[in-house]
């Protein structure tokens, strides 16, 4: 397996800025293995872009903003420590980011303890906003919402037998449970779930278990480098993607490193993408994509868009509140209607509009309409912004599924 070099853990700033001189905000996400450091790096870069734009326009409340970004390495215990440090040592007034659900679930407890607002950019666990904490907001989809796009797609294509190879983590277990339940409601019951350590290097023993009777669809629900390892090994064993078996990859398939690691094996892979197709870009999306590519030399994925908007929303809330007091920022976020690179973002339910009994708990402080689509690569090395949108059908730019010959 070809694997890109893992970046060294990023040293985090320990200096505490003088109170009053600068508005400090915190960011967190994986910048090194075992976390999905490609996504985390893009999240940090996008947040830096947002802060620079705000400072170039005069700052917030007449003050310069500084972002201090902590590397969580995709580890829950590391997320706890990073959040604690950002709040108690660096004196940040708000937080943005995170990629992994399992890490976000620990970070939110620390933020709740200290009453510091967080705009989560990417974690999907229903329990993130389902906590009902005043401090916690999210612009990424919940697992329930996100999963429904994939299961509706599976039913639309007509696949009947499914194997999920899922990372053994909080995210993996919640994701697989949700998918299985939704597929059963759609009448698809031939579903097998196999758990694997996300750090697994050799998936061959697991793949051999299904090689004699391949399913209609094989899903590798593995984040980080494990996603690419499994794609390449399933391809080399001629299990998927083939004319018989489709391959569903994790969201990490959107990053350029995916092609570096899997080569031609990535062709015909499909995956769920959180973001906007080019046909739906607004002026802010257009500017963000162009500026990001010019600044960093790569086409950003959906997590970068989310981090960019989350950062702008936090800073806009501080400006609108006229204060860095947590309660004032939280109120401003609840009342905000913000047009960002992802579109019109708002939080339907909060203290200003209590959650009805018939709505799921995760709708608290949740953007109700995040853009989620199924993309498929139809050429080796294809950039994510050129991949075909195959579902939902009303947004499709290509065939619902292109099958290998």
CA 86 to CA 68: how far, in whole Å? Answer: 8
Apex 100 CA angle, 99 and 103, nearest 5:
115
CA 227 to CA 261: how far, in whole Å? Answer: 10
Instruction: For the chain, give the percent of residues with pLDDT over 70.
Output: 95
Which pLDDT belongs to residue 8? 44
Listed ranges 3-12, 28-37, 104-113; the one with the highest mean pLDDT? 104-113
**Cβ distance 98 to 91 under 8 Å?**
no
pLDDT, mean of residues 209-217: 95
Burial of 212 (0-12, 13-18, 19+ CB in 10 A): exposed
More confident residue, 42 or 20: 42
Which pLDDT belongs to residue 20? 61
Per-residue pLDDT of 363-382, as tens digits, reads 999 999 998 999 999 999 99
Per-residue pLDDT of 294-308, as tens digits, reads 999 998 989 999 999
Q: Which residues pair with 246 in a beta bridge?
A: 217
Per-residue pLDDT of 152-209, as tens digits, reads 999 999 999 999 999 998 889 999 999 999 999 999 999 999 999 888 899 999 999 9
Which pLDDT belongs to residue 12? 46
Q: Are strands 217-221 and 372-376 parallel, antiparallel or unpaired?
A: unpaired
Which pLDDT belongs to residue 123? 95
Which pLDDT belongs to residue 310? 98
Residue 18 pLDDT exceeds 90: no
Residue 1 pLDDT exceeds 60: no
Give the model's confidence band at 276: pLDDT under 50 very low, under 70 low, under 90 confident, else very high: confident
As given in the structure block, the two tokens for residue 47 are: 């947040």
pLDDT, mean of residues 81-96: 98
Average pLDDT, the chain: 93
Instruction: For the chain, give the percent of residues with pLDDT over 90.
Output: 84
H or E element in which residue 329 lies = helix 326-335
CA 119 to CA 129: how far, in whole Å? Answer: 10
Q: Which of 369, 156, 137, 171 is nearest to 252 (CA)?
A: 171
More confident residue, 331 or 226: 331
Handedness of CA 91, 96, 102, 108 (dihedral sign): positive
């Amino acid at each position: 397996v070809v694997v890109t070099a893992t970046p060294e853990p990023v040293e985090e700033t320990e200096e505490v800025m003088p109170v009053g001189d600068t508005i400090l905000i915190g960011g967190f996400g994986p910048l090194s293995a075992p976390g999905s450091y490609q996504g985390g790096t893009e999240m940090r870069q996008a947040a830096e872009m947002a802060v620079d734009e705000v400072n170039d326009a005069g700052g917030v409340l007449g003050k310069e903003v500084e972002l201090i970004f902590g590397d969580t390495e995709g580890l829950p215990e590391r997320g706890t420590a990073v959040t604690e440090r950002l709040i108690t040592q660096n004196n940040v007034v708000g937080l943005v980011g995170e990629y992994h659900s399992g890490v976000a679930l620990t970070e939110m407890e620390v933020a709740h303890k200290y009453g510091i607002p967080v705009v989560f950019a990417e974690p999907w666990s229903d329990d993130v906003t389902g906590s009902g904490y005043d401090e916690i907001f999210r612009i990424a989809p919940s697992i329930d919402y996100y999963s429904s796009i994939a299961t509706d797609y599976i039913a639309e294509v007509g696949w009947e037998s499914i194997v999920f190879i899922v990372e053994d983590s909080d995210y993996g277990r919640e994701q697989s449970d949700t998918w299985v339940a939704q597929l059963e409601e759609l009448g698809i019951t031939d579903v097998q779930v196999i758990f694997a350590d996300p750090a697994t290097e050799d998936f061959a023993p697991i793949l051999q278990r299904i090689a004699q009777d391949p399913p209609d669809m094989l899903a590798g629900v593995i984040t980080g480098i494990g996603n690419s390892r499994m794609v390449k090994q399933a391809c080399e064993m001629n299990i998927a993607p083939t004319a018989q078996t489709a391959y569903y990859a994790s969201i990490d398939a959107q990053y350029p490193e995916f092609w570096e690691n899997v080569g031609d094996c990535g062709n015909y892979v499909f995956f769920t993408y959180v973001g906007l197709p080019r046909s739906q870009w607004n002026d802010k999306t257009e500017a963000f994509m162009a500026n990001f590519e010019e600044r960093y030399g790569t086409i950003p994925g959906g997590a970068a868009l989310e981090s960019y908007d989350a950062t702008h929303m936090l800073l806009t809330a501080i400006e609108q509140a006229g204060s860095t007091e947590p309660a004032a920022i939280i109120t401003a976020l609840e009342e905000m209607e913000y047009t960002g690179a992802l579109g019109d973002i708002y939080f339907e339910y909060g203290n200003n509009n209590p959650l009805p009994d018939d709505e799921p708990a995760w709708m608290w402080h949740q953007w109700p309409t995040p853009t989620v689509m199924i993309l498929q690569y139809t050429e080796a090395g294809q950039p994510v912004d050129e991949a075909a949108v195959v579902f939902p059908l009303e947004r499709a730019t290509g065939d619902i599924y292109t099958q290998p010959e």
